[in-house]
Structure formats: C-alpha cells, structure tokens
Amino acid sequence: MPENDDEKRERILKTSVQLFGKEGYYGTRMSEVASKARVSPKTLYKYFSGKKELFMSALDYATRKLMRHVLARIPKEPDLDSLMIARHILSSYSNFIRQNRGLARIHAEAVAMVDPDIRRDQSKQFAANVEVIAARLNEDVISGRLKLGAKPEDIAWLFLSVASLIAYAVLLDLDRDSQGGFDPDYALDRFIKAMGERF
C-alpha cells in the first residue's frame, strides 16, 4: 500500500529530528534530510519551504512527542498535589531527554538561534507552558491541597528553569561524566524537597 502524505511527512520529521539532534541546525543539509528520509529533494520542498520551516516543524514534532511521553506517565492518583505531579513530570522529562539526547541539542539550538522567528516561537512556547503550570498550581492552592509562599507563576518559571538546566546538563553529558557529578534524579529530589520547604 502506498504511503500517504501524512505518513511521508512524519517520516521526514523523524529523520529531521535525528539529523538536527546529531548535526545541529547549521550542520544539517536539506539534501541529507531528503536522502535519509528516502524522498526526493522536490518532495521534501513540497512539504517544507526551507530549512527554517523544517527545523521549526521538527522541533514542534519532537516537543509534542516528549509531552505525550511525559503526560502519559503522570500517576492517576486523585490526591496527588501539584508538587508531586511536578516531580513525576520532571523525572519523566529527564529520563526521556537522557534516552533521546538529540532533543536537548535541538531545544538548545532553538533558544540560541539568531533567527527572530525561531526565538519568538520558543519564547511564546515557554510562556504558554508557564501559564499551564501556574494554572494547575493555582487550582491546588484554591482547593487547599497545596500551600505556597510564592506566586504560582514564579514557581512555574522556576520549574521550567530546572527542566532547562536538566536538558543542558544532558547536552553536556554531565550525567555521564563523573567530573560533573550530576545525577538528575538526585537533583530533582532535592529541588522538590527545597520547594516544599521554601514554598
């Protein structure tokens, strides 16, 4: 059975994530993506107008895959408060990033890009994530399940900052090299404990 457009596009995106994750934005050529994805350059440009659009689409594809993985692993316990949910989310995120190390590079490059469209897109995504996390924290505060000594928005920014630090530590292989002594699971435990004590 011949491949439909959605299947072909997904194969291109999977290949792009692998190549951008390994070679980076500037080290990845469109011709290489076409070759590895087993499509002609003409077909590749049918779906994506250029490398920037392909990169942004690959980043979005990888982020959605990551979020599906993370959200699927949140325990379905009704009494779980936001801090414990945060612990599960960060742990799942850390494990996924460590098993898919190229994602750390893609996200780091997107943040460091000079291109204003890519930077703007990342900034909007970060702010949207803060809103979602802050809303969930606020629900737990209103319901009495959680007591915080700081605004939910501030904690949400801190939460995403820790996630970013985990990604950069993985990008630098600090979780593999004894020189850094970085243990993501230990760092998460300390972070959640400190949040519980401080907030």
C-alpha 142/C-alpha 135 separation (Å) is 10
Q: What is the pLDDT of residue 156?
A: 84
Which position has the higher pLDDT, 142 or 180? 142
CATH of region 73-198, choose from 1.10.357, 2.40.128, 1.20.1550, 3.40.50? 1.10.357
Helix (H) or strand (E) holding 103: helix 102-112
Measured between alpha carbons, how far apart are the two ends of the chain, in Å?
57
pLDDT beyond 80 at 178: no
Percent of the chain predicted with pLDDT > 70: 94
pLDDT in tens, 112-125: 877 888 888 888 88
C-alpha 166/C-alpha 145 separation (Å) is 28
Q: Which amino acid is at 181?
A: G
Residue of 134, 189, 193 lying closest to 159 (CA atoms): 134
C-alpha 158/C-alpha 93 separation (Å) is 15
Residues 28 and 20 sit within 8 Å (Cβ to Cβ): yes
Looking at residue 19, what DSSP letter applies? H
Helix axes 152-171, 102-112, angle to 10 degrees: 120
C-alpha 85/C-alpha 145 separation (Å) is 12
pLDDT in tens, 25-48: 999 999 999 999 999 999 999 999
Instruction: Tell me the mean pLDDT in the region 73-79.
Output: 78
- CATH-assigned architecture of domain 1-58: Orthogonal Bundle (1.10)
41, two tokens: 């350059």
| Domain residue limits, the chain | 1-58, 73-198
pLDDT in tens, 46-69: 999 999 999 999 998 988 888 888
159, two tokens: 């939460």
Looking at residue 48, what DSSP letter applies? -
pLDDT beyond 60 at 111: yes
Q: What is the pTM of this model?
A: 0.78
141, two tokens: 């505060």
Which position has the higher pLDDT, 54 or 130? 54
